[in-house]
Structure 1
Amino acid sequence: MASSEVKDIECGPEQRHEKPPFEDDNLKEDPPSVEVDPFGAEETAEVKYKTLAWWQCGILMIAETVSVGVLSLPATLATIGLIPALILIVGLGLVSTYSGYVIGQFRQRYPFVHSMADAGFILMGPIGRAVIEVAQLLFFLFACGSHILTFTVMMNTLTDHGTCSIVFGVVGLILCLIFSLPRTMKNVSWLGFISFLSVFIAVVTTMVAVGVERPDYGDMMLTRKTSFTNGFSAVTNIVFAYCGHPGFFGFIAEMKEPKDFPKSLCMLQAFEIVLYTVASAVIYRYAGQNVASPALGSAGPVMRKVAYGLAIPTIVIAGVVLGHVAIKNVYVRMLRGTDMMHRRDWRSTGIWIGLGTVFWIVAWIIASAIPVFSNLLGLVSALFVSWFSFGLPGIFWLYMYWGEYFKSPMKIILTLANLGLVVHGIMICALGLWVSGVAIHNDDASGSFSCANNAI
């Protein structure tokens, strides 16, 4: 047999996935033909992007994910009961860990991918890129809007509604814009560390406060009968707590060693699953059936202000990390393959600041238009997190292993698991949109662009 024929057999599709997916050899498969490295060679660049260590990436992922979501979970337990909610928190956490790992596999196979939009191009060409590009930008806008909304709740709590809530929202907008100005993830990662400490200390303080004060908000219930609308709205709030996946490609693209991403992912998932489970159970146990959402409002008048004061960094910085990823996606899309991306001149800097300004203004408009915290989280989960955290990772796996679904018993199991991810995403999207729409329609707590106190 000729040597070329032997080489063809050795590199055939049946050999492609036998090695662990994060080994460097896997990068030799399916080389990109229509795209380039999002940042290119950086040896002599003024601005270098690929500088994150795995633990810095993990800190950023925690800062991005663990903030607004954890504040809604105790109210979720009050809606559907302690036992069902804890099962969902742990179960969805494990599922989101696997789906995040699949995203890492996909990025190792296609190392030029910088965002979900790039992955959409691989799956469905220009149409896939356009659809997912719009979807990911809308997700980040809504998610950042929820952080501005939380900022207004925090300021109303600290100042006893010292001024119009719209003014507080503008202050939050300005702060988020200022902290979004650094262009590299490494510079933002130091803010992420502050956010990490902030959310942990604030949640622990709230747990201690409600444990000592034991507010009389009604007894805890192990299980609870509720309407389908309220029950599934609670599920979408848990889904939102695991909403970090849209930023994973961007984080990996700025790592020194992208193959270390599983370490960062495990760091994130271990922290959030444990924190979500313990914090939500303890706060619900002592705050009772009428626990507030955000949960920091469940402490007494003094400790509520202390907890919100401690949470200021995470409320702002978690939104900043999300916003940075969104702005970077657009920035890379505009300047990919040019030297401008790596320059510090007025044009490059001006484009970055301009994109950030427009982004945060739109996020503020969304926050002011949908001023109900839990309903906003449910809507975002249904529209976007259902796909980015569950549906699309399943499609990524099915695309990578096309034609090998029944190659071995393990492949059959993984095929069924990833089909399950896709079905899971479709169900959350369809049902979540319906129940969120009903909840927003029926909630008359406050109107759009209102000066009212949304901390009540």
Structure 2
Amino acid sequence: MSEKQAGDAVEHATADYNDPEMEMRLAKHGFGYKRIGPPIAANLERDGTSAMKITERAELEKENAIQYRTCSWQKTSALLFSEYICLAIMSFPYSYSILGLVPGIILTVVQAGFVLYTSLVVWEFCLRHPEVRDVTDIGQMLFFNWKGAWWATAVMFILNNTFIMALHVLTIERYLNTMSNHPFCTVIFGAIAAVVSWLCSLPRTFSALSHLATVAAFFTFVSVLLAAIFAGIEAHPAGYNPDPNHVTAAGVKMGGNPLVLVVPAAGTTFVSGVSAFLNISYTLIGQITLPSFIAEMKDPFEFRKCIWVVTICEIIVFSVIGAVVYAFTGTQYNTAPAFGSLSNDVNKKIAFSFMVPTLIFLGVLYASVSARFVMFRLFDGTRHLTSHTLLGWIAWSSILALLWIFSFVIAEVIPFFSDLLSLMSSLFDSFFGWIFWGTAYLRMRSVDHGSNFMRVRGWRGWIGFGVNVFIIVVGFFFLGPGTYVRENFITMLTSVRGR
């Protein structure tokens, strides 16, 4: 693209759509069509039409051997299911044992509602700016096209995804240790986990990965269902003692029939309550991948179906499984993950084994998102991105290999991995789960109605302003208590044995 073409493209892309069909579709969903600023220069199409309609952009790929904008809303839903319906579900009984059953379920619904709301904000932003490829582009655009914001977001994006990959290497490794009773093969098991995950990461498009996502989500559902059934049919949970005054070797009073609390126990501290709530919150936060998914949909306008379906299923599965397992294991015998509360080792291993496909795929999903970020910027506008060239496949597989090697090294070498991951996750989730999307809402409404949009829109404006300022404040709150709580949460998820 010549310098003049690039300049024309920027001017065209900054001047809103001027496309009646696009504006009508946005208006149908209650969205404005104004941009908050110019597009990312590096994302301009080679023909200088970065502001073309989404349908036209997808049309250009029909002749490509590798087509990226091919995900239906059903396939995107499968990707979201695999991201959200994961091992962390089995920490909900623990959270309910601290919060009490009723407050725990209420907070689950409230947190899911906030994630749904912010996900719809992400969706609106991506529809207004179809040139957005991933969350790094949004970071730059939110902060007034400052290139430093792009780099800061890119670093957090890659580190967040890599540390999640490392967490899954570690979890699979500990699972294999438990199943084989060979704790001395830890490093070998970690290497096996990394190699298998690398192989599963090789498909180049989300459409191809969606088939693996469907399988992973199905096996996760079977896993948590079996855990709930086994908890119900076993005579007693693991560690059961009929004496209500029994004291364990660790000095903990734990005995009697399982005790189910409707509300928090007297004396429950603020810190423990916040810890339990943030365990729920961290499970539901996952907006970092949404811009990448939306960018590969055939029709991004259908994303609302995906997020509503997944959110409803999340609330049902998380609440029902959490409540049922908690009801049979009680406050005294609850472990996180809840597999450790099963008294029969065979039942425990069977139920947890069905979780393995998700343990693998969730790391694969984040690896693919990261590799896509690098690949698109290295080969933008070349045939290596859209055709089955030798260089393209060598580059793709090499990027993935480096990411998995880095993840393996982090999981195995860093002695304070849990501490570091807790710090990183608190930082990243505060921005990618909360702060970015409250800011995005305020920026979009300011563009639509001016800086005093609260007054212009009346009560809707004031409610929207208040809710999104609250979302930003919650994001900063995650930087504080979230750091301590996240460390406990990571320890729970990587512990397969339970008590």
| 1:338-353 paired onto structure 2 within 5 Å | 338-353=382-397
| Mapped pair 1:64 → 2:97 | no
* Gaps in structure 2 of 5+ consecutive residues: 1-14, 51-56, 241-253
Deviation at 1:175, TM superposition (A): 1.1
1:137 to 145, 151, 158: 158
SS in 2 for 1:42: coil
Q: What amino acid is the match of 1:241?
A: T
Q: What amino acid is the match of 1:284?
A: Y
Distance 1:95 1:151, change over 3 A: same
| Mapped pair 1:244 → 2:307 | no
Distance 1:68 1:322, change over 3 A: farther
**CA RMSD after TM alignment:** 3.2
Deviation at 1:398, TM superposition (A): 0.8
Deviation at 1:332, TM superposition (A): 1.7
Q: Is the 8 A contact 1:96 1:242 kept in 2?
A: yes
1:405 to 424, 439, 454: 454
Alpha-carbon displacement from aligned partner over 1:27-84 (angstroms, at most 9, x marks no partner): 8996737332698731221211110000110110110122132132222223333333
2:180 to 159, 166, 170: 159
TM-score between both structures, scaled by the size of structure 1: 0.86
| 1:231-310 paired onto structure 2 within 5 Å | 231-289=273-331, 290-299=333-342, 300-310=344-354
Mean Cα deviation higher: 37-46 or 290-299: 37-46
Match of 1:221 in 2: 261
Cα distance between partner residues in 2 of 1:370 and 1:76: 29
Q: What amino acid is the match of 1:186?
A: S
Deviation at 1:394, TM superposition (A): 0.7
* Gaps in structure 1 of 5+ consecutive residues: 1-7
| Mapped pair 1:430 → 2:430 | no
Match of 1:77 in 2: 96
Distance 1:27 1:412, change over 3 A: closer
Match of 1:3 in 2: none
TM-score between both structures, scaled by the size of structure 2: 0.79
Cα distance between partner residues in 2 of 1:336 and 1:430: 39
SS in 1 for 2:454: coil
Distance 1:314 1:166, change over 3 A: same
SS in 2 for 1:330: helix
SS in 1 for 2:355: helix
Cα distance between partner residues in 1 of 2:31 and 2:280: 35
Mean Cα deviation higher: 385-394 or 103-112: 385-394
Deviation at 1:136, TM superposition (A): 1.3
| 1:5-20 paired onto structure 2 within 5 Å | 20=27
SS in 2 for 1:406: helix
Match of 1:42 in 2: 61
| Mapped pair 1:147 → 2:187 | no
Mean Cα deviation higher: 162-171 or 173-182: 162-171
| Mapped pair 1:190 → 2:211 | yes
Deviation at 1:270, TM superposition (A): 1.0
Deviation at 1:333, TM superposition (A): 2.6
Cα distance between partner residues in 1 of 2:161 and 2:406: 11
SS in 2 for 1:241: helix
SS in 1 for 2:480: helix
SS in 1 for 2:33: helix
Cα distance between partner residues in 2 of 1:202 and 1:283: 13
Match of 1:99 in 2: 118
Distance 1:303 1:435, change over 3 A: closer
Cα distance between partner residues in 2 of 1:271 and 1:372: 36
| 1:197-208 paired onto structure 2 within 5 Å | 197-208=218-229
Deviation at 1:230, TM superposition (A): 3.7
Identical columns (%): 26
Q: Is the 8 A contact 1:60 1:189 kept in 2?
A: yes
Deviation at 1:375, TM superposition (A): 7.3
Q: What amino acid is the match of 1:152?
A: E
Distance 1:127 1:377, change over 3 A: closer
Deviation at 1:112, TM superposition (A): 0.7
| Mapped pair 1:334 → 2:373 | no
Cα distance between partner residues in 2 of 1:189 and 1:371: 35
Cα distance between partner residues in 2 of 1:157 and 1:174: 20
Q: What amino acid is the match of 2:338?
A: A
Alpha-carbon displacement from aligned partner over 1:166-192 (angstroms, at most 9, x marks no partner): 322221111111100011001100000
Q: Is the 8 A contact 2:116 2:307 kept in 1?
A: yes
Q: What amino acid is the match of 1:221?
A: L
Distance 1:435 1:276, change over 3 A: closer
Match of 1:114 in 2: 133
Distance 1:76 1:379, change over 3 A: farther
Distance 1:296 1:252, change over 3 A: same
Deviation at 1:329, TM superposition (A): 1.6
Cα distance between partner residues in 1 of 2:481 and 2:379: 38
